[in-house]
Amino acid sequence: MNDILYAPWRDEYVTNEKIEGCVFCHISSSQEGSDEELHVLYRDEHCFMVMNRYPYTPGHFMIIPHLHTDKLEELPSQTWLHMSGLAQKSVRLLKEGFGAHGVNIGMNLGKVAGAGIAEHVHLHIVPRWKRDTNFITSIAQSRVYSTDFIKIYQKIKSLIPEYIG
């Protein structure tokens, strides 16, 4: 018996034009006017924050340096410290403003470490809630996204001025 999981929101992933080169560099170099289309939450001279289009949990976003590198050890210390500061502020945003019970922070450095986009380092910020996983994740290796992606993006974006600056 074959089970079918209906996921119409993934149509964009399948039919969208492929970006040539690094998707993070594409977002980094894009005009601020396209931030909503690209789901950019924040940008400054060192890095930007963008929603993960295929999130682990609702509200999962990433902090990404503008500098294209796959080596954390070669990232300028100033950029890394700035990213760390944004991570601290992001945790507060997710807990206080978004109601998360906890937060996972992590980096997958290299393809063998699980990086989906291994050529450009990025820091994952993943909100967590009590009982946010269920049998579907364990048995079917699938996730159920319980809310609308765009509504989550707009909510987090509205919290940026208060928590990030």
Superfamily of the domain at 8-163: HIT-like (3.30.428.10)
Phi first, then psi, for residue 164 (nearest 5°) are -105, -40
Distance CA 120, CA 163 (A): 26
* Domain coordinates in residue numbering, the chain: 8-163
Gyration radius from the chain CA atoms: 16
Q: What is the mean pLDDT of each run of 10 residues along the chain (165 residues)?
A: 48 58 95 92 97 90 97 96 98 97 95 93 94 56 67 96 95
Supply the pLDDT for residue 147. 74
Question: Which of the residues are catalytic?
Answer: 122
